[in-house]
Structure 1
Amino acid sequence: MRIELSSLKSRVARRLFRMFFFIILVPIIFIAVGSFYKVSGLIFTEHHHHLQRATKEYGLGIFRRLSYAYDLLLNASQHTQDLNHIQPEYLHLLQTYFSNYAVAQNEQIIWQHNTDADTLDWQSLLQYTPNSGVFTLQSNHSSVKRVFITLATQESRWLAELDPVYLWPEAELSAFEELCVIGADSVIIFCSSPLSEDTIALLLKASPQTPVHWIDDHSEKMISASWSLFMRYQFAQDDWRIIISKPENVFMKSVNDFRQSFLPAILLIFLLVVFVSLYMVRRHLKPVEALIKGTKSLSENKLDYTVQVDTDDEYEDLAHSFNQMTQNLAYAFEYNTALFNINQKILLNENLSSCAHQILSEIARFATPLYSVLYILNKHNPIVDRYYTYEYSNQTFKQIKQSSSEILMQFSSILHSEACIVSNDEFSKLIPDLTKAGNGYSHYYPLHQDGQLISFLVLNLPKAQLDLRFTDFLSHCTVAFNALQRGKLLSYQAYFDRLTGVYNRSFLQEHAQKSLALTETQSFALLFVDLDRFKNINDTLGHSFGDELLKSVAKRLMEHLPSHAFLSRFGGDEFILLMPIATPADAEVVAQTWLAIIAEPFQLRGRIVNIGASIGISLTPDHTREYEALLTCADMAMYEAKSQGRNRYFMYSETLHNELARRTQLETFLREAVSEGYLSVYYQPKVNIQARHLSGFEALARFHHPQEGFIRPDLLFKIAEESGQVHGLGLAVMRQAFEQLKQWQTRNLWTGRMAINVSPLQLSSPDFVAQVESLMHETGVKPELIELEITEGVFIENNHEAKERLAHFQALGITIAMDDFGTGYSSMAYITQLPLNNLKIDKAFVSSIKDGNKHVGIIKSMIQIGQNLGLNVTAEGVETPEELRFLIEHGCQDIQGYLYSRPLSAQDAEALLITPNLDAFFKP
């Protein structure tokens, strides 16, 4: 390899050389300096860590040896019966690990063994040594401490001095290492070389993790590491500081060796940099110029330019890569153009079928599949889910409608979180109509957005054709689908019901108004569907169960939806169907069909649920052409169907309209009846036909319309019960009756009983008892002068509560009468259980007296029943002398009817009280 300086004649070459030289030189200088100090520091740290580990290991060795010696002394004490004679095996062990030992009993040394000249005063040691643990004693011959172990048993105390050779073995120290063990108060326990007090203070002051530099007595630099040995818990001794020192020249030998070899290495690297820089300038100048020309061509959008480099090295590979890059850019440009076209069409076109067609056809631009399947999950409206297939041989595109739950169940065997290969035999079971040809495998690609599967693509594509660009393509499809789904979400939120998936109320109005306005010649039917007693489902099984039922009903209705019909959830448990019809009979056929399918049992959560529906039908143009009016007419018809017994349909008619209009008018009249003075109370007298005197009055409500005059009270009270106004009207009648009764009492006109009718709805109200008691308190009417008339309907809905409230009234002294006896559900067992005082025989039975023995026998039985039960019997509607004579003869107690008097105003009732004319009434 030659270096030609002539190459530096080129400006580019000189510039490259300067750049290459200085760019490398400066970092090398910094790297060299930094590396030197870094490596030196790492070597020093590693040696210090090694010294620290050696210190710790030596300290742990001391602890193990102390523990072993302590356990040996303990075993010897436990297995020695005669303190004057220690077993040979233990004696041998004691002599091995202990240099001196003694046994004391009752604070007196009874046996001892000394092996050195420095004889111990064992008796004196007993005075200040602990019962158990480790203690040290100054040696007479050196500054090193002698280490003792003391052990106390129930009968004796053992004292033993550890053998220094055993306790401080030199074999565990590496070469050049010196050991020093320092106890509390800087007391030297053991040192292999003597240390000065200043050195000891320096070593103890430093942290165990910090290396300590010091100079020994021979002026040699030393480095030390220390470790604290915890002695308190097991040996009742303060911590020992274990210190191992090493000469610095030995410690730093590796660092010095590195320093001596580093400088030549740096110099060699510098020379190599110069050499390589010159060579690389010469070697790479021409390829760089060729690449520069290629780059200029690329900047001018000349994607067909080819760089020619024949250097048989990386520059030739780089030129090849450059040429390949230009080819890929050209291909990617075309590829991205195709993706742009797909995205643009998807974002501008909200038609899922058109978007799917575009995607599947564009795949053929960069792959050669035989067929493909695309499923787009419409998570906002699963009722309209579908998937799409495409055969590339004949360019056949199909769309197949299928619900979300069905398609996910059908494809469950291939749905994975990652792309995979699916056997063609397995895939043929899913879509048997699709042609299966090729290599026998299909490739599955899932598309996820925010962790949720929004679509998946299946291609019959050879494995060798798998292209990395598919990932980008699928990502583009995911983004496009997400944008399309956002548009669908806005549309869904605006026009679809979230619970059932059918159209909502807003879209119903928009669609209906457009349909009715654009097709003036077309007839439409609007069916208003309301589920019967759906509230009971929510109250008993819960709202979530009710929601599931609504979804099941919507699905069943969609499955039986007529062609060109439009289904919407109007609200709650109400659905609206708008459909074009040829004749009104078409609407009735659909209504009958829907009543039948809704009546079929629903199986939800392991329960069988039965529910019905009421359907109202209105027609255009027969009834109206306005949507709101058409909806109102169907609503009226639906309520009429409910009033006729539910589970039926009813067609709106003019008669129904008039009846409902009349009802609305009367509801308004009732709301104003009390405040405007339209309500008045009339009083029909009751006569005791056995004692021949006035026995009471029945307070009857009368309504006077300012234009129509008096209106039938039974009709108005029926409307009041249905509209919820009966509570207020009933209390108003009761208040007027109580006040009138109090006036008659105050004027001494009459002190008899006043009967007042009570609606079943009034009695079912939790506040009714308190309201009656409050009125009695306000008016001052005594309870024994009040009679509450009820009908048998009171006991139909809530028999237990009704009986409790009536029993409460009866306990106060109020009389309870059953009105219209015999016309309802009465039975002997039923009557005997009720808190009653009076039975009132209905007018229909009284008026049948003239019809013969059959009816006469019924009335006799009624009177007999009341007498046997101890109840007062009152006959209503007595209008002829024959009826009066019959009732007198058979023991009926009271009568009321037109024969004696019609219901009277308060003024006329006062006149009757003054002049009853009872003699004329009973005159034969």
Structure 2
Amino acid sequence: MSRAFNWIKELPISRKLTLLMMTTAAVALFLGGVAFVANDLFVKRSGMLSQQATLAEIVGLNSIAALDFDDARSARETLTALEADPEVMAAAIYSGQDLLFAQYNSPGFPDTDIPASPGIAGQRFTLDYLETFQPVLVRDQKLGTVFIRTSTNDWYVSLQRNFLTGFAVMAIVGLISLALSHVLQRNFSAPVLELAGLARMVSRTRSYSLRARKYSEDELGTLVDDFNAMLEEIEQRDMKLSEYQQGLEREVQSRTADLQQLTERLEHQAHHDSLTGLPNRKRYKECCHDTLAERSRDGGQFAVMFLDLERFKLVNDSLGHHVGDRLLNIVARRLRNCVREGDMVARQGGDEFTVLLRSVSGYEDATSVAERILAALAPCIELEAHTLNITGSIGISLYPYNGTTVDELLRHADVAMYAAKSKGGNGFLFFSDEMRTEGAELLSLEAELHRAVDEQQFEAYYQPIISAHDGRVRSFEALVRWRHPTSGMVSPGRFIPLAEETGLITEIDEWVFGEACRQVVIWRKKHLHDVSMTVNLSSRQFSRPDLSQRLEAILNETGATSDAIELEITEGTLMHQTEQVQSNLMKLKALGFRLAVDDFGTGYSSLSYLKRFPLDRLKVDQSFVQDLPHDQDNAAITQAVIAMARSLRLMVTVEGIETEEQLAFLQDLGCDAFQGFLYSQPVSADEAERYLYSRVAQSSAAAASAPLHQQQ
């Protein structure tokens, strides 16, 4: 139904008018024809019923005598008289006992069946015939029954004739209506169609100077006038709109160009690092997924690398973030020059970079790139009168050997990078299953370290520092040891780096400082007034603005005095040179602490920085002592450091002394104090006290080289 309505809506108006008129005429004719035919059929049907009822009544009257005297022959003669009516198909007379008494079959309908007994009195009209059962009554007594069946062929012939006549009349009237509608609608639809065509032309050509012709003064004429007035108004507005449009187009072109540039910048910023211009973590991961899909299809390999710069935080904190940013840009350029055009270098954040080698033939290709990267980082970098040496640790995972998903490959490369860093840095390692085990062990160790801090599972050990002038114990260096409740002693090399990484080192430092203060108070109460303590402070401590207040509170709690404590600071901490570090050093010096630089010589700072800080002592790192006096380079460096310290009026302690030969060489250089296994390993407080008494009892000259195992 909806399709029919849509089809009508799409017709031209002339067709709609024609359809309307034709439909109206057709409906009127149809209804009239139906009424005529129905009336004719009703009249003829009523006539047939009345005629047959009369005929049955006549036959019944003529058969009374035959029924009364049981004269079947006379009854048959009465029925034979029906031959005069060609429409009668059959007839019968039944006795009062409803038995067939006489019957008649028309020669035109010899096969007509006659019921064996009369039916219900009355008439029945079917498609083929009309039947009548009418009782024969004499003084209200049923003497018999008359049956007559007549054909309805004439009735159907008349019905067909009426339908054909009606159809012919409808066709003639339809043709006349079509001709009249064509004439009538032409005068109405022609102006409307012309107006519609003009509207389409104006819409298509936008020529608003066109005007419609006016045919009459009726409503159509008024419509034409209004349409022409509308065109005139549109023409005037179109001229103004064109002027505005030209200006708007120029503005849109300018804004579009700006928007395109902004879109490109935003797209670049969304996928690239703002400092180095390298792809960022998001873009890198997308490329890893694309590469994984390619290699999974062609069965190839690719490599993922994690690179972490060493000592970058030191540069950032000591020389400022602007120097750190310039350093990162230089590193980024060097890294880009180490890979092929199809590969990718990205910045993860901070001092971490990632490299994607999209196609490798095995470990050899990844090894070659890693070696190129380390070689590219090796040359010194000159920034603002500072010479910087940058190294890195690289972790590598290879698809499909070290993972089959991007997240797995990235995680394993990160694990390998930390493993390379733990081995001293400036190198690379491929991921292995052992690293996963080590990572799990490290997580377990971290949890146990937190528990150790909470439960104070630590012990303080002390290593003597011997005066070079009289051989007496000048001080003890307080060192921390972790006695695990089930695993026993845990090596400081295992938990100290982890403590520094997790920040637990600050709590451990304060605990060691407190133990050292308590022990020095005990010894001084025993009249060992010359003994002092040396305590290491980690670099994290110097980022705390309340460092001096916290140490002073521990002094007050334990009863120790600051003149009995020497604080050791690593060279790396010293080189941070932040305002907070300098402020803390000044406050500690004002409290009366002596300050020493530990592991001196391992950094890459300028020695001139030493005079800027209130220092009292340098401790030469044991790495310069190991091969003395045979290593000429180490001997020259040690001699230069001692000479420089003398010129700056600083005391010098050399640590890591293990042989008499080393001791003799250093004594000739004029050191102030010695420390190392030649004298004693770190021992408990009781053992340190016994060692202290044994040294006091001996002469200074004889005791200068006495090892601990010889004196116990």
- What is the TM-score normalised by the length of structure 1? 0.39
RCO higher in structure (CA 8 A, sep ≥6): 2
- Asked which structure has the greater CA Rg, the reply is 2
